[in-house]
């Protein structure tokens, strides 16, 4: 029997995404976004509150990067979520991390995170219920250490963080449970 839990953000897992953009002086700001999702093969949507420093920077620069946070960098990924760029001027600098300018879009790539999507701003959505950034993914870069023998990202090697909204925990991806578009094929063949 199920127990009522009230209103809760009951989706699991959630990604732990590091969203980076430049301000008008090309100063790096990064924020931790768990409420983000691929919206098409080449699009991503990030639900970012209006007025956040990174939100303002994306609207100004028209570009951003989205990196997968990993276990090795969990402390900094968490810091990027609890510290506000609107209140802490040296937020990125405090981490000692390194940024290089993307050669595809006007946005920083944080070198420490293993997989990054380089994105152009398509639109921002703002109404009484939602504030979101929609981006076009123009390129993906990945450290060679997280690639398989065919040159594709091996999620088990990324140690990518996932967020548990039930208990505010971070977990790591890894074990493959089955093959998509194959695990249910026998059911599809039933008469």
Rounded to an integer, the average pLDDT of 35-56 is 94
pLDDT at 182: 85
3-state secondary structure string, the chain? CCCCCCCCCCCCCEECEEEEEECCCCCEEEEEECCEEEEECCEEEECCCCCCHHHHHHHHHCEEEEEECEHHHHHHHHHHHHCCCCCCCCHHHHHCCCEEECCCCCCEEECCCCEEEEEEEEEEEECCCCEEEEEEEEEEEECHHHECCCCCECHHHHCEEEEECCCCEEEECCCCCCCCCCCCHHHHCCC
Confidence of residue 100 (pLDDT cuts 50, 70, 90): very high
Rounded to an integer, the average pLDDT of 17-30 is 96
35 Rama sector, left if φ>0, alpha if ψ -120 to 50, beta otherwise:
beta
pLDDT at 152: 96
CATH architecture of the domain 14-188 equals Roll (2.30)
Q: Is the pLDDT of residue 22 over 80?
A: yes
Rounded to an integer, the average pLDDT of 152-181 is 90
Question: For the whole model, what pTM was predicted?
Answer: 0.93
Q: Is the pLDDT of residue 26 over 90?
A: yes
């Amino acid at each position: 029997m199920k127990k009522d839990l009230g209103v809760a953000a009951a989706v699991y897992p959630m990604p732990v995404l590091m969203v980076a953009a430049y301000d008008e002086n090309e100063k790096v700001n990064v924020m931790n976004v768990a409420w983000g999702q691929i919206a098409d093969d080449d699009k991503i949507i990030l639900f970012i509150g209006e007025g956040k420093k990174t939100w303002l920077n994306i609207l100004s620069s028209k570009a951003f990067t989205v990196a997968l946070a990993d276990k090795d960098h969990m402390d900094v990924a968490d810091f990027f979520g609890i510290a506000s760029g609107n209140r802490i001027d040296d937020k990125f600098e405090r981490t000692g991390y390194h940024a290089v300018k993307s050669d595809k879009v006007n946005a920083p790539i944080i070198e420490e995170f293993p997989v990054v999507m380089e994105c152009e701003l398509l639109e921002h959505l703002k109404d009484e219920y939602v504030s979101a950034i929609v981006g076009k993914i123009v390129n993906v870069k990945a450290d060679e250490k997280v690639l398989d023998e065919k040159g594709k990202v091996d999620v088990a090697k990324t140690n990518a963080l996932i967020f548990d909204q039930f208990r505010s925990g971070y977990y790591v991806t890894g074990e493959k449970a089955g093959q998509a578009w194959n695990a249910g094929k026998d059911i599809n063949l039933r008469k």
